[in-house]
Amino acid sequence: MDINIDLETFSRSNIRDSGTIRYATDPTTEILMAAISVDGDPCIVWLPPSMRPIFGRAEWDRADEVLEYLKHDIQPDDVVRAFNAQFEKFCLSAQMEISIPSENWVDTQITARRAGFPNDLATVASMCIGESKDKEGTRLIRKFSIPISTGKRKGERRYGWEDPADYDKFIDYCIQDVVVEQKVSQKTKPFEAKASFRVGTIFTDRMNEKGIPVDVATANHAIKLREEAETTVEAEFYDTVGCKPSQRAQCVDWFNDQGYQYSSLDEEHVTRELEVDKSMTEIGQKMMRLRYNIAGSAVKKLDKMLAMVMPDDTVKGVFSFGGAQQTGRWSSQGLQAQNLKKPSQGMDTSAFYEMLKNRASLEEITAVYPDYHHYLGCSIRHFLTGPYCLCDYAAIEARIIAWLAGQNDLLQHFRDGRDVYRIMAGKVFRVDPDGIGKPSPERDLGKALVLGAGFGLGGRGFFTQSADVIVGGETEEDKVEIASGYIQIWREENPDIVDYWRECENAAMNAIRNPGKKYKARMLTYYYGNLKGRAYLICKLPSGRCLNYLDAKIKLATTPWDEKREQIHYYGKSSTHRSYQWHKMYGGKFVQHATQATAADVMVNGFNSLCHAGYDVRMLIHDESCILLDDDQMNDPNIGDVIEATMCEPASWMAGLPIEAESNLVPFYHK
């Protein structure tokens, strides 16, 4: 049986704040209706019995039968499809006790994402099947699914019997969602996850259900002190700047008067000013740092954490399988565990957190740590409590790019267990690598080159990315010139990788010019074709998974060095906002996508191995698994070695790839 389903619900919980699982289990949440299609037949609708007499539809009994089947009789080969299936899965479980196993679900949102489409059904419908969703749906959801926002009845609920005509439209809207989802599902069916990747989605569901343990009591105390501190900080800011930190336009004008070079206060520009440019006056720097610390996203992570926390003091439903669209790596939602702020060098966040945990007052804490907001923003990881074994793949991208490109000398260094960062630093500084310290500024430079130069990075790009490791130079242009020299040395030492950039770009170009033909770039295969009416450039990875470049074409473009040349473009999500745009591709970028996607495939294999072995994985952060340990595991002196070996169990497609993992036992999550 193949079932498509869509739910409409009411709740006083805000799903954007609380996340799907907290929303689904909220006491005020209830299912208003369900539209269901069985084996492609026309939709039937389920309504609660109290609503049925109002609407003259005849399918109630059939809908009851289908839901009873899903509750008691579902078979292993039955498939239940929904767009963002996590919502339907957890709402059905919490509100109707219909617990459909993860193995039976197919999430059309994940499939659409693999096909190059976005995460919201309305945009997918427009891009994928050329249909516009009924815009009335937004109005009807506001009317029936959330509390009334204004007027005498503010906070109350509006029921279907108060406006049967509109509620009938709401039912039709729910049906339309299933019809649209069915069409999207058919259109994107070639992109459905298979084999180990399907297993990965199932294990991700289970990980999301268990959740991340959180120190709720200490988080509440930290927020209370933060609110106290904000009053003092905002007063100091207003007295100096003449406006509130929230008044962005006035802040920009004042900062510009202090030497700030940019016209916006986005995080990228502020971070560059505070850490690289440092062009402002001393008081300007101080005020910008104050504003950044109280208005930035870091200190607000605790609010999101507590908004999502469940009665068992866990945050559930954080991770999305294949959420990073172009590579297939996991992403996170709500808590955004992948981008928690790192402590600055020398910061003692553990002692700061202990003071919070011991319920120290703001006065006591600021006597030791005057910048409360900065320390709090850098201490969020402490609130994600363990104990954990953190197991991270070592230099995985550097290993994969050498493996894909056939840079055999670099691969051999990895196989021999040599420190490739020291070796690279030795080439740059013309010294014996064994004489380079660990840690040391020279090794830091070697590491930045090994991890950053493999995707076509130039001197200015390396300066922007790694300005703090460049040795010498007084001006920015001096440092860019020095960085260009580093890049040249790296390229001379890695000619196979440099050649591979051109090889991948040529294979992709040839594939577009000759649809249907396959072009090899060593372990990668590029081909171009029409899938369900859309043109795709496809890159088949060693794992068998494919990267799919939607609407790829060759167009004339201007390079960064002002040269006109043909370049491949594809239509994809912007890296900075939700909209879609044309992306230029070049050899280094193709290699970057393939390398990072293969790293994601290695991670899927390692994650599946850990789950099959019974380890309690709670988080996946980039190339790191976070395994919650019980008392017996904590007392096992070999637990780290065993977890490393499990995570590095190779799949057949990984032959010749020298992967290695490093583990660390910690009381809370930290990087």
> Could you tell me if 166 and 25 lie in one domain?
yes
Q: Which tens digit of pLDDT belongs to each residue from 460-502?
A: 989 888 888 888 888 888 999 999 999 999 999 999 999 999 9
Mean pLDDT of 565-590: 88
- Token pair recorded at residue 528: 């171009």
Inside any domain, residue 250: yes
Cα separations in angstroms, 597 against 202, 411, 507, 591: 19, 19, 18, 10
For residues 185-190, give the mean pLDDT.
90
Q: State how far the alpha carbon of 572 is from the alpha carbons of 115, 334, 459, 583, 600, in Å.
A: 10, 23, 27, 7, 19
The reply to whether 156 and 283 lie within a common domain is: no
How many other C-beta atoms are found inside a 10 Å radius of the C-beta of residue 459?
18
- pLDDT on residue 323: 85
Length of the chain, in residues: 671
One domain, residues 425 and 367: no
Residue 508 lies in a domain: no
Contacts of 330 (CB under 8 A, 6+ apart): 204, 319, 320, 321, 322, 323, 324, 338, 600, 603, 620
**Predicted confidence (pLDDT) per residue in 212-248, tens digit:** 999 999 999 999 999 888 888 889 999 999 999 889 9
Q: What is the pLDDT of residue 89?
A: 97
Helix axes 459-466, 441-452, angle to 10 degrees: 120
Domain assignment present for 323: no
Tell me the C-alpha to C-alpha distance, in Å, between residue 439 and each of 214, 435, 471.
Answer: 33, 12, 16
In this structure, the answer to whether residues 172 and 221 fall within a common structural domain is no
Does residue 192 register a pLDDT over 90? no
| Claim to verify: residue 96 and residue 222 sit in the same structural domain | no
CA atoms of 438 and 269, how far apart (whole Å): 32
**Residue 193 pLDDT:** 82
pLDDT at 337: 85
- Nearest Cα neighbor of 111 from 188, 29, 173, 26 is 188
User: Of 435, 468, 493, which residue is a domain's last?
Assistant: 493
Q: Provide the sign of the torsion angle of the four alpha carbons 271, 273, 275, 280, taken in this order.
A: negative
Are 141 and 289 contained in the same domain?
no
| Alpha-carbon dihedral sign for residues 211, 212, 216, 221 | negative
Q: Report strand pairing: 79-82 vs 105-107.
A: parallel
pLDDT digits (tens, 9 = 90+) for 366-402: 999 988 888 999 999 999 999 999 999 999 999 999 9
Same domain? For 418 and 461 the reply is: yes
128 & 256 share domain:
no
**Contact between residue 625 and residue 391 where contact means Cβ atoms under 8 Å apart:** yes
Clarify whether residues 151 and 30 are in a common domain. Answer: yes
In sequence order, what are the beta bridge partners of 6? 35
Return the number of other C-beta atoms located less than 10 Å from residue 379's C-beta.
26
Q: Which of 21, 3, 211, 209 is nearest to 104 (CA)?
A: 3
Q: Does residue 662 sit within a domain?
A: no
CA distances from 341 to 386, 429, 622 (A): 19, 32, 14
The structure's pTM equals 0.90
Closest CA to 38 of 73, 76, 69, 72: 69
pLDDT reported for residue 219: 96
- For residues 111 and 220, state if they share a domain: no
648 within a domain of the structure (yes/no):
no
* 347: in domain: yes
- Of 468, 493, 518, the one marking the end of a domain is 493
Number of domains within the chain:
3
503 in a domain, yes or no? Answer: no
Contacts of 2 (CB under 8 A, 6+ apart): 38, 39, 40, 78, 79, 81
Give the single-character DSSP code of 55: S
CA distance 570 to 425: 37
SS3 assignment, position 569? strand
Q: Per residue in 90-130, pLDDT tens?
A: 999 999 999 999 999 999 999 999 888 888 888 888 888 88
Q: Indicate the average pLDDT of the chain.
A: 92
Specify the pLDDT at position 416.
95
pLDDT surpassing 80 at residue 560: no
The whole-angstrom separation of Cα 229 and Cα 503 is 56
* CA distances (Å), origin 351, targets 64, 358, 361: 57, 11, 14
Do 462 and 418 lie in a common domain?
Answer: yes
Would you tell me how many other CB atoms lie within 10 Å of the CB of residue 370? 9
Pick the range with the lowest mean pLDDT from 21-25, 132-136, 335-339, 493-497.
Answer: 132-136
| Domain end call among 493, 521, 556 | 493
| Nearest C-alpha neighbor of 362 from the set 221, 264, 501 | 221
Write down the pLDDT at residue 55.
77
- Tokens at 344, concatenated: 């600055």
Q: Report whether pLDDT(308) > 80.
A: yes
Quote the domain boundaries for residue 452. 408-493
Torsion sign, CA atoms 430, 433, 436, 441: positive
Q: How many C-beta atoms lie closer than 10 Å to residue 416's C-beta? A: 9
Which residues make beta-bridge pairs with 524? 521
What is the β-pairing status of strands 534-540 and 553-558?
unpaired
Question: With bands split at pLDDT 50, 70 and 90, how would you rate the model's confidence at 63?
Answer: very high
Query: What pLDDT is attached to residue 515?
Result: 95
Q: What is the pLDDT of residues 622-667, one digit of tens each?
A: 899 999 999 999 999 999 999 999 999 999 999 999 999 999 999 9
Helix axes 136-144, 164-188, angle to 10 degrees: 120
> Can you give the pLDDT at residue 468?
82
Residues 239 and 378 in one domain: yes
Reference 285, options 254, 325, 309; nearest CA is 254
Task: Report the alpha-carbon angle 145-147-151, nearest 5.
Answer: 135
227 lies in some domain: yes
